[in-house]
Amino acid sequence: MDHIFQAVLDGVPAEDLAAAPLPESYRAAFVRRDEASLFEGIESAEKDPRKSLHVGEVDVPELAPDEAYIAVMASAINFNTVWTSIFEPLPTFGFLDRLGKESRWGARHALDYHVVGSDASGVVLRTGSAVRNWKVGDKVTVHCNFVDDQDPSAHDDSMLAANQRIWGFESNFGGLADLALVKANQLMPKPPHLSWEEAAVNALCNSTAYRMLVSPNGASVRQGDRVLVWGATGGLGSFAVQYVLNGGGTPIGVVSSPAKAAILNDLGVEAVIDRRAADYRFWKDEFHQDESEWRRLGKDIRALVGDDPDIVFEHPGRSTMGASVFVAKRGGTVVTCAATSGYMIEYDNRHLWMKLKTIKGSHFANYREAWDANQLVCEGKILPPISAVYRLEEVGEAAYQVHRNLHEGKIAVLCLAPAEGLGVDDPELRARVGEDRINLFRRHGA
Ligand code: NAP
């Protein structure tokens, strides 16, 4: 263990941390450029992150004036790390090379290895000379919106910036490592009542769900709205149902097992559909969908909540989008941020225009949205849906679990944190929120 990392673990005063020398290299999870064709000719589902994600020492990059080094205590698996590790839809080295051409600082990212990971909790180790709001020793979480704030298009809504990127996916030096390089405008306060691993699993999926449902940039859920949430115990869905409940709406959660249905019931979601038990067959074959199956889903939703959904929270993509557009209420909104099962989408446009529905695209969140979503975690109003914890050496297995849909909620990864349960600074708030509720997903997994 390097001296400065040990100092973080020992909780030394910020002055001592600032005086401790930085290491020249650090432990990180990465994919390699020379392995980008590792899975050529293999079916998507068979591509195995355990073969492509490596853990080893990499060099510490130079620090730009607007950046910070973070000692990463814990990180999380997001689906983008799955995409990177199976080199789909494209190897991420193309993103790094493009960033590399933008500036001297961008050039640091274009390497033959890509350090992955788009979530982190940890401690600020160093700040660049232009950083004003953060200092060495601050306990933080990191959101993944990586923007150039000197680009005019990055203002108003930074998600509309021409060169907006996702940190640790479209940039290098991500969070699945002992050290991470981040822009200062990615930093947010660590929720004081949560452990390192509980704090690390929220920023990406929580902020995305917040923008999709709560923000005026998304579907702006209102009291009384019925909201169909696909994958309702998955990374995004487990935050989505909490936002609908908090906002006075009625979530209809779709899951694929009785165990997942039980998690939803425990979270307070009464209307649950087990898609596997219902055995919906939206696609008759590779090219044709079956409207009667969309209709059957619509009937099931009405039977549960009395009406069609005002909002559909979409991300499975090709397998569900036709059904989502069909079941949305007249005038309703389908808000989508992904296409896990395929991005060439097909739906019946007559149902969209005749019933005045809207399909709204959404992607991560701007700093303000991420900050507001983080604040709700800090106040205990949004729970961390953490279901399992792995060590950094086991990152391939953790990504495999997510790739094969074997997980619930979020999987955390311990980086510098030597054990689970460390880092809680506000036990009173923790007690008020409730150990049982914070551990809800883990309890069900146990
Ligand atoms: P996740 O943790 O794997 O959860 C996804 C859930 O979707 C699964 O739990 C599964 O639930 C359900 N699902 C999977 N395939 C399905 C299918 N064919 N039909 C119906 N349901 C299906 O992943 P996540 O973190 O929620 O991310 C989901 C997608 O969103 C990924 O593609 C990810 O890359 C993307 N994403 C995009 C953004 C963005 O900013 N644009 C942000 C976060 C994530 P059941 O099996 O229980 O139904």
Q: What is the pLDDT of residues 248-288, one digit of tens each?
A: 999 999 999 999 999 999 999 999 999 999 999 999 999 99
Give the DSSP H or E segment for 333: strand 333-336
Q: Is 234 in the pocket of ligand 1 (CB under 6 A)?
A: yes
Q: Is 254 in the pocket of ligand 1 (CB under 6 A)?
A: yes
Question: Average pLDDT for residues 3-11, to the nearest whole number?
Answer: 90
Question: Average pLDDT for residues 226-230, to the nearest whole number?
Answer: 98
> Cβ neighbours of residue 26 under 8 Å, at least 6 residues apart?
2, 57, 58, 60, 177, 178, 179
- Amino acid present at 351: H
Q: Are domains 2-205+365-443 and 219-361 of this chain identical in fold?
A: no
How far, rounded to the nearest angstrom, does the alpha carbon of residue 135 sit from its chain's CA centroid? 26
Please answer whether residues 253 and 237 qualify as being in contact, where contact means their C-beta atoms are separated by less than 8 angstroms: yes
Check residues 5 and 236 and name the one with the higher pLDDT.
236
Q: Is 205 in the pocket of ligand 1 (CB under 6 A)?
A: yes
Ligand 1 midpoint to CA 345 (Å):
16
Domain ranges of the chain: 2-205+365-443, 219-361
Please answer whether residues 243 and 221 qualify as being in contact, where contact means their C-beta atoms are separated by less than 8 angstroms: yes
- For 22-168, where are the alpha helices, taking DSSP H only? 49-52, 79-85, 93-100, 104-107
Q: Is 319 in the pocket of ligand 1 (CB under 6 A)?
A: yes
Task: Give, in degrees to the nearest 5, the angle at Cα 70 between 411 and 181.
Answer: 95
Ligand 1 midpoint to CA 20 (Å):
42
The three-state DSSP-derived secondary structure of 136-156 is CCCEEEECCEECCCCCHHHCC
The three-state DSSP-derived secondary structure of 155-190 is CCCHHHCCCCEECCCCCCCCCCECEEEEEHHHEEEC
Q: Is 236 in the pocket of ligand 1 (CB under 6 A)?
A: yes
Q: Is 211 in the pocket of ligand 1 (CB under 6 A)?
A: no
Q: How many CB atoms lie within 10 A of CB 132?
A: 8
Ligand 1 midpoint to CA 214 (Å):
19
Mean pLDDT over the full length of the chain: 97
Q: Is 260 in the pocket of ligand 1 (CB under 6 A)?
A: yes
Check pLDDT > 70 for residue 397: yes
Check pLDDT > 90 for residue 320: yes
Query: Where do we find the tokens 């940890």?
Result: 122
The CATH classification number of 219-361 equals 3.40.50.720
Q: Is 402 in the pocket of ligand 1 (CB under 6 A)?
A: yes
Check pLDDT > 80 for residue 444: yes
What pLDDT score was predicted for residue 445? 76
Q: Is 253 in the pocket of ligand 1 (CB under 6 A)?
A: no
What pLDDT score was predicted for residue 261? 98
Question: Which among 170, 167, 169 has a CA at the least distance from the CA of 181?
Answer: 167
pLDDT digits (tens, 9 = 90+) for 12-47: 999 999 999 999 999 999 999 999 999 999 999 999
Check pLDDT > 90 for residue 1: no
Tokens of 12: 């030394």
Question: Average pLDDT for residues 186-203, to the nearest whole number?
Answer: 98
Ligand 1 midpoint to CA 372 (Å):
23
Residue 2 — very low, low, confident or very high, per pLDDT cuts 50/70/90?
confident
Ligand 1 midpoint to CA 8 (Å):
35
Ligand 1 midpoint to CA 403 (Å):
10
pLDDT digits (tens, 9 = 90+) for 291-308: 999 999 999 999 999 999
Q: Is 366 in the pocket of ligand 1 (CB under 6 A)?
A: no
Ligand 1 pocket test target in 340, 387, 407 with most atoms within 8 Å of CB: 340
Ligand 1 pocket test target in 44, 77, 78, 79 with most atoms within 8 Å of CB: 79
Ligand 1 midpoint to CA 363 (Å):
14
Cis peptide before 89 (omega within 30 of 0): yes
Residue 225 — very low, low, confident or very high, per pLDDT cuts 50/70/90?
very high
Check pLDDT > 90 for residue 344: yes
Q: Does CATH number 3.90.180.10 belong to domain 2-205+365-443?
A: yes
What pLDDT score was predicted for residue 51? 98
* C-alpha distances in Å from residue 210, one per residue of 42, 95, 158, 204, 371: 36, 26, 15, 10, 10
Question: Which among 48, 156, 78 has a CA at the least distance from the CA of 338?
Answer: 78
What's the burial of 172, exposed, middle or buried (CB within 10 Å: 0-12/13-18/19+)? Answer: buried
Distance CA 293, CA 304 (A): 17
